[in-house]
Structure formats: C-alpha cells, structure tokens
Structure 1
Amino acid sequence: MRDLMNNITPVTIIPPGTTTNDNTAVVSSIVDSLGYGSVTFVLLTGSLADADATFSVLVEHGDAANLSDAEAVPDDLLIGTEALAGFTYADDNKARKVGYAGGKRYQRVTITPAGNASAANLGAVAILGHPHNAPTANPPV
C-alpha cells in the first residue's frame, strides 16, 4: 500500500448538509491551489427529495483571488467531465468527482439544480494533490 495521506490536503468548499430547497445554485468557496500541482473536486449528495430534480456542475477558474475574472474551465482542462460529476434525484448518498488540470491559481464549483422543489443535501471537498512540499499538514490548515 502506498501513502496518499501525506500528499493531499482536503479543503471543505461546500459544508456537509448544505441544503437547497429550490433551483438556486450552490456556489463553493474559492480554492487557492498555490503550492499544489493538482485539484480534484469531490461532490457529495445526501438525501435528494424531489423526484424530478437534476443537478449540473460547473467548474470555473481565474487568476484573481476573488474570482472576479472567473471563466468556465474548458473541457480539455478537466479530468473527467462536468456531466459525469452531475447527478439526479436518484443519486442519494453518492459521491462524484471531476479533476482540474489548468494553470490558474483559483477555482470554484457551482452546483445548479433544475426541477428541484424539495430539500437537497449537498457537500463538496477539494482535494489538493502533488504538493510542492510534503508531507502535508495533519490536520490540514
């Protein structure tokens, strides 16, 4: 078995249990990937109550710390696809992932519901990998 723990830093970007009761987009906090060579976003679902709901995923990146220059990440800079990271009402208690292979320092994820009229519990973590300095701190800072 090989060591992964000392080579990643998990960052909560959508707190567990974040709930949306309508079609309002859930926007993650901004990830600063300085000091790391890779980012993978892990999207988590809890209970998804509405039988018609779908949830699309958008990954954005930019150079400004507040992402005032945010733009959608081109497909060729994603590892996996935003479509595969999305989910439907039938995906209770699931995890999805999408990786970022671009060169911008800052990233964020937006989960946008459609057809959602009931509680949808969501969460997300950014996994920062390939650190310039290892081992990474535990607990993460």
Structure 2
Amino acid sequence: MRDLHHNINIIAALPPVAVGTTGTGKTSSVVDRQGYDAVEFAFSYGAITATAATFTATIQHSDSATAASFTSVADVDLLGTEAAAGLGQGARVDGSTENVTRRVGYIGAKRYVRARVVSTATAGTPVGINALLGHPRHAPAAT
C-alpha cells in the first residue's frame, strides 16, 4: 500500500526557535506514543554562521510525562544515531551543514519521548524538531 498520509501523525515538538546561549539548548514538548508503534524525530537546522558551532541532538524517554522522569535513550533503542541527527563544526554548506534536516528514530518501549538540541555557539541558529508518529494501531491516523 502506498498510503503514507493515513498512517502517520506529525507533531511540531519544537517549533523553529533560536538555539542560543552556549550549552543551554532547547527541549521539545513531550510526545505521547499511545496508539503508535514508531516515532521518528526530524531536526531542521537553519542558517548557521559560526563554523565552530556544534549541535548535539539527544533523545529521552520515560514511562511518565513528568519532566524529571526522562532519561537518555540507549543506542539499542534508536534507529540511526544521535550524532547523525546533530551537526558537527566546520565550513557551512547550504543543504549539507546548514539549512538541512537530520533524523533519528526511536524503537524503545516507553510511552513518552522527547528530543533535545544543545549548541556550543552563542549565536541564535534556528532549529525546529518534528516528531513523526507511525504504524498506528488504528488507521487512519488522527490528523
């Protein structure tokens, strides 16, 4: 079946926002996986002026939606890597190291997940995070 439309739900987990203040970072809203067996996080990075800037992506999960209960996800529960979802330092090339989207999937068993991105730069590079929920237990998926 070629129908993706009825089998995913997209959540703006972190609407595009400037990630500034070295080391502070931004954390997405909590994504509730209830009714879905898969989630993919898409990190969208805007224009970056600092060649020395590094953006570190992490995925966290929990059995509770309480902020304090989240822990980092083990690599075995990820499809792809957090490192590949982030951006390293270096020359900025449109479409490969800036103005680009990277992704990482979660296959763990916990109900609640969220993503976080931290930058080493103080400049406010815009970053957005979308959560794509897939494999709904009951299709079509809610929109």
TM-score in same-fold range (> 0.5): yes
Partner of 2:35: 35
RMSD: 1.3
> What CA deviation, in whole Å up to 9, does each residue of 1:81-124 have, x standing for no partner?
0011111352211000000000000001110111x021201001
70-79 or 83-92, larger mean C-alpha shift: 83-92
In terms of fraction of residues, the more strand-rich structure is 1
Query: What corresponds to 2:112 in structure 1?
Result: 106
**Identity rate, percent:** 38
Equivalent runs, 1:57-76 vs 2, <5 Å:
57-76=57-76
SS at match of 2:69: coil
Q: What secondary structure sits across from 1:61 in the alignment?
A: strand
Runs of 4+ in 1 over 4 A off after TM superposition: none
| Mapped partners of 1:59, 1:10: distance in 2 | 17
- Give 1:49 shift: 2.1
What SS is found at the alignment partner of 2:141?
Answer: coil
Unmatched tracts of structure 1, length 5 or more: none
Q: Normalization by structure 1: what TM-score?
A: 0.91
TM-score, length-scaled by structure 2: 0.90
Structure 2: which 5+ residue stretches go unaligned?
none
Instruction: Note the alpha carbon deviations across 1:20-53, whole angstroms, 9 max, x for none.
Output: 2321211111100000000000000111122210
